[in-house]
């Protein structure tokens, strides 16, 4: 069984966590996910990745709790670091990553979804980081990612209580970018992905890089980064094609050059 199934269709790729019934992130699944992410990092054709979970019950319901009792301090730190590294690799992919979230997205599942660029929530989604109820804390980036995505007080409430919230509240708080009916999740993800994929690939990748790298910089440094990326794009064939297509009132044909 491919525990992280990767299917490519032109500029789109579908990355599915495939460990039913709840797609728990055991060591083997994490390894498979890392291999898939590493493969995507080298792919120059794919522009958008749709990340989802297999089955009806969960996007990813979290880590495999059966692995916890044998963890000591050193092993625990290594496991946390490994998950963080994989999720940060996902976050730093040159492609845009869209997480299509249904069912349970708990613990490592929510941290995985939070590592994507855009999150689409099915109305049946239930999200949370319940690690404190197990005597640990969110270890795959949750304590750092959630306060960057949510109001700090709400992020702390979720982390400190271990409570689960419904999709509607997650969307209202900004944890989701779209909220759709259960049967429309993948259709919406594909719609957004195709809208992105028709744009200049070099421009989309440069824009993602500017946002991600500039996020934690002072504003003046971020603006310099933006200007640098803009200048780089002005040397491309795609820039000329985009401008000419606009002036000629036709659709551009970008080549990624």
d(CA 47, CA 11): 5
Cα 251 to chain centroid, rounded = 29
Instruction: Exactly one of 2, 9, 45, 111 is catalytic; name it.
Output: 111
Instruction: Exactly one of 39, 131, 157, 253 is catalytic; name it.
Output: 131
Residue 1: band (very low, low, confident or very high) from pLDDT cuts 50, 70, 90: low
Average pLDDT over residues 174-197: 97
Residue 64: band (very low, low, confident or very high) from pLDDT cuts 50, 70, 90: confident
Other beta carbons within 10 Å of 220: 8
Residue 216: band (very low, low, confident or very high) from pLDDT cuts 50, 70, 90: confident
Domains of the chain: 4-197 (3.90.226.10), 201-247 (1.10.12.10)
d(CA 82, CA 93): 17
d(CA 230, CA 138): 37
pLDDT, the chain, mean:
96
d(CA 132, CA 162): 6
Which structure tokens are listed for 30?
Answer: 């994490």
Average pLDDT over residues 204-225: 96
Q: Does the annotation count 2 as an active-site position?
A: no
Q: Does the annotation count 111 as an active-site position?
A: yes
> Are the CB atoms for 62 and 106 separated by under 8 Å?
yes
Four-residue CA torsion sign, 116, 117, 121, 126: positive
d(CA 175, CA 111): 11
Average pLDDT over residues 26-52: 96
Which has the closest alpha carbon to 175: 130, 118, 223, 214? Answer: 118
d(CA 201, CA 220): 26
């Amino acid at each position: 069984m491919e525990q992280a199934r990767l299917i490519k269709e032109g500029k789109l790729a579908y990355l599915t966590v495939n460990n039913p019934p709840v797609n728990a992130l055991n060591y083997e699944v994490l390894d498979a996910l890392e291999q898939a992410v590493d493969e995507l990092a080298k792919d120059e054709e794919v522009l958008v990745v749709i990340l989802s979970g297999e089955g009806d019950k969960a996007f990813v319901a979290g880590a495999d709790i059966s692995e916890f009792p044998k963890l000591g301090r050193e092993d625990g730190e290594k496991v946390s670091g490994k998950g963080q590294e994989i999720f940060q690799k996902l976050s730093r992919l040159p492609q845009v990553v869209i997480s299509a979230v249904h069912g349970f997205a708990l613990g490592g599942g929510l941290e995985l979804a939070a590592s994507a660029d855009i999150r689409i929530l099915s109305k049946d989604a239930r999200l949370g980081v319940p690690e404190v109820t197990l005597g640990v804390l969110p270890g795959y980036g949750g304590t750092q990612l959630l306060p960057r995505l949510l109001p700090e007080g709400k992020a702390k409430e979720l982390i400190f209580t271990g409570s689960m919230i419904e999709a509607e509240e997650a969307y209202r708080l900004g944890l989701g970018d779209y909220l759709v009916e259960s049967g429309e999740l993948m259709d919406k993800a594909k719609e957004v992905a195709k809208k992105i994929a028709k744009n200049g690939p070099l421009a989309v990748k440069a824009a993602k890089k500017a946002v991600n790298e500039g996020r934690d910089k002072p504003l003046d440094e971020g603006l310099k980064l933006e200007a640098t990326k803009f200048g780089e794009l002005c040397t491309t064939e795609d820039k000329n094609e985009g401008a000419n297509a606009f002036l000629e009132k036709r659709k551009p044909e970008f080549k990624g050059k």
